[in-house]
Amino acid sequence: GTLGGLGLALGLWRRQAALAAAREDEEEKELRQRFMAPPVSGLRELRRRRRELRSRMELLIMETQAEVCRALTALDPGASFAVDSWERKEGGGGISCVLQDGEVFEKAGVNVSVVSGLLSEEAARQMRSRGKSLKAKDGKLPFCAMGVSSVIHPKNPHVPTMHFNYRYFEIEEADGTKQWWFGGGTDLTPTYLNEEDAIHFHKTLKEACDKHDPKLYPKYKKWCDDYFYIKHRGERRGIGGIFFDDMDSPSKEEVFQFVKSCAKAVVPCYIPIVKKHCHDSFTPEEKLWQQLRRGRYVEFNLVYDRGTKFGLLTPGSRIESILMSLPLTARWEYMHTPPESSKEAEILEVLRNPKDWVH
């Protein structure tokens, strides 16, 4: 009787194990279909550590990448994303998805990176200058960083450029304690001002922030206006949105949920604007103004942008992915000044004096 009972239990256990394995395979297949490419850490590893925040963040950035790529492809069906998975010999890697020369988008990139290793001296210096007290062990600071980052440059001057980035950073100090923080934001750079679009964009981001705390949107809207400031031109890069960095309170879970809400707001804040204007007619003069504004975009990214600087200072980082944010075409004209009271002068006024779009 005992042996028979053991046999039954063993059979039951085998059946359960087979069912669990089949369920895992099914889950894996479903995840594969959901993403643009297999995750950097591997699906098995992510599942094994699925309760850890690092794994949940990696899943979130993978899902955000796929969501945005699918939404863009739906608007530009003749174009497709080149999907490029890469490895970094110092640890980790990434997935770059880039669409070029479509009907609607001149260049759209949505990148994911998950990297780890030792922080370079320059990168540590950059962080300390922001008030981080990092205690290295024998000069070494192990770190892990991951994020999703995107810049979308449309062809039509009446469709704005959009950028977003959401990231997580972890550093292990000499005594084994871990410092962690989140950063990110979403912002809009129109060539011409459309107040209705500006209100829609800001309102959608405000709703995402308000779910967590009504104090967040005004704080991060101002931070965005201050951050995307081209000092040497005395103007902002665009009409802003939200931006935050070094966010490490109230708790890891609460900040993660906030970042998730912001990432989920990307498609609804931008795609309706693209749909509305992608077939608008435009003149050669309007196209020229777009090219000149793109020049300003490049100036900000190469001179001031923290992410670009950090990427260029990180050994083994992938330059192509870091400079993906630059437009396919841009223009710099000597002493170009738009006529007073023109549509071009109107956007400049807002770039010099940011507006409150939602109150």
Query: What are the residues facing 178 on neighbouring strands?
Result: 172
Residues 109, 70, 103, 240: what is their CA dihedral angle, to the nearest 10 degrees? -50
Strand 235-236 to 229-230 pairing: antiparallel
Maximal CA-CA distance, the chain: 97
Tokens 């590893």 -> residue = 45
Say which of 163, 200, 202, 277 is annotated catalytic. 163
Structure tokens at 67: 């969501």
CA distances from 148 to 111, 206, 282, 359 (A): 6, 21, 32, 30
Annotation marks residue 202 as catalytic: no
> Residue 331 burial by CB count (10 A; 0-12/13-18/19+): exposed, middle or buried?
middle
Q: How far apart are CA 70 and CA 79, in angstroms?
A: 11
Q: How far apart are CA 272 and CA 292, in angstroms?
A: 25
Q: How far apart are CA 359 and CA 66, in angstroms?
A: 33
Q: How far apart are CA 199 and CA 130, in angstroms?
A: 32
DSSP3 helix / strand / coil % (the chain, rounded to 5) = 45, 20, 30
Q: How far apart are CA 227 and CA 224, in angstroms?
A: 5
Q: Give the residue numbers annotated as catalytic, written as ranges.
A: 163
